[in-house]
Amino acid sequence: MNKEKLKNLLESIKNNEIEVDEAMKVIEDLPYKELDFAKIDTHRELRVGYPEVIYGEGKTTEQVVKIIEFMLSKDNNILVTRATKEMYEEVKKICPEANYNELARTITIRKRDDKVTDSYIAIVSAGTSDLPVVEEAAETAMIFGNKVVKITDVGVAGIHRLFDKLNIIREAKVVIVVAGMEGALASVIGGLIDKPLIAVPTSVGYGASFGGISALLCMLNSCASGVSVVNIDNGFGAAYNASIINKL
């Protein structure tokens, strides 16, 4: 829509050739939806039951507490990722029902009991050292209202453990695979299932694992076709993705 058309439209209003409500729809269709999608975003969140998410890293305890204080006035569930225990201690003072998952480093506050999905997200991990990322993913998926099944310690070094659990993995609607070191688990599972698979490389390992680069590259180069990848240790991002897919 250019200026001329807009002027014509407004003059049509003036001349009573068009109703105000009809004109409004047209103007709302203009690109200023950019202002609007802020609101749409808010609506969407209320609608799909996503809590506000606070990324705790690089924030002070005071900042986190202030943000939560504001959020508590709303009806949303609240999730803080990469939260320190100290943050939790302060949050508990203004919100005693807050929960802290030490392994996941998450604070969660449930203000509504959202309906949980029937279909589930399977979170599969290679070794015990990958558990913090598994837990972050699980806390994220659960507060977003997803049913979650965790299958841990099924790394390829003892692949029979994986096969025992294959049915549970195959029946999930979407699968998150969490693995460090060489990250081969994503490829192996990717070759065995027919579901979206989100791979999370972890920084578990030493030497040439280079803080997760080895697992990241392994997953990006997976010879199994149905694998997509998120950032190293990004359990939250994987769960956010999985939740969107699980609710399709």
Phi/psi region, residue 106 (left: phi>0; alpha: psi -120 to 50; beta: rest), is beta
Shortest Å, Cβ 96 to a copy of itself: 27
Residues 128-147, mask of contacts with a copy of itself (x by CB under 8 A): xx------------------
What's the CA gap between 79 and 110, in Å, rounded? 9
Q: Is 238 in the site for a copy of itself (CB under 8 A)?
A: yes
Based on CB atoms, which residue is closest to a copy of itself, 96 or 143? 143
What's the CA gap between 112 and 226, in Å, rounded? 35
* Tokens at 70, concatenated: 């504001």
> What 3-state class would DSSP assign to 174?
strand
Shortest Å, Cβ 75 to a copy of itself: 19
Residues 41-70, mask of contacts with a copy of itself (x by CB under 8 A): x--x---x----x---xxx---x-------
What's the maximum distance between 2 C-alpha atoms anywhere in the chain?
Answer: 79
What's the CA gap between 126 and 134, in Å, rounded? 10
Match 């070759």 to its residue by tokens. Answer: 191
Count the site residues for a copy of itself by CB under 8 A: 102
By CB under 8 A, the residues from 158 to 197 that bind a copy of itself are 158-161, 163-164, 166, 173, 181-184, 187-188, 190-192, 194-196
> What 3-state class would DSSP assign to 85?
helix
What's the CA gap between 163 and 186, in Å, rounded? 14
Shortest Å, Cβ 161 to a copy of itself: 7
Q: Is 156 in the site for a copy of itself (CB under 8 A)?
A: yes
Q: Is 140 exposed, middle or buried (0-12, 13-18, 19+ CB in 10 A)?
A: buried
Stretch that binds a copy of itself, among 90-98, 106-114, 146-154, 157-165 (CB under 8 A): 157-165
Question: What string of H, E and C letters represents the secondary structure of 25-60?
Answer: HHHHCCCCHHHHHHHHHHHHHHHHCCCEEEECCCCC
Q: Is 75 in the site for a copy of itself (CB under 8 A)?
A: no
Based on CB atoms, which residue is closest to a copy of itself, 4 or 97? 4
Based on CB atoms, which residue is closest to a copy of itself, 79 or 107? 79
Match 């829509």 to its residue by tokens. Answer: 1
Shortest Å, Cβ 168 to a copy of itself: 13
Element (H, E) at 121: strand 120-125
What are the distances in angstroms from CA 18 to CA 14, 25, 30, 56, 100? Answer: 8, 12, 17, 52, 57
Shortest Å, Cβ 225 to a copy of itself: 4
Shortest Å, Cβ 31 to a copy of itself: 4
Residues 190-219, mask of contacts with a copy of itself (x by CB under 8 A): xxx-xxx-x--x-xxxxxxxxxxxxxxxxx
By CB under 8 A, the residues from 94 to 133 that bind a copy of itself are 126-129
Shortest Å, Cβ 146 to a copy of itself: 14
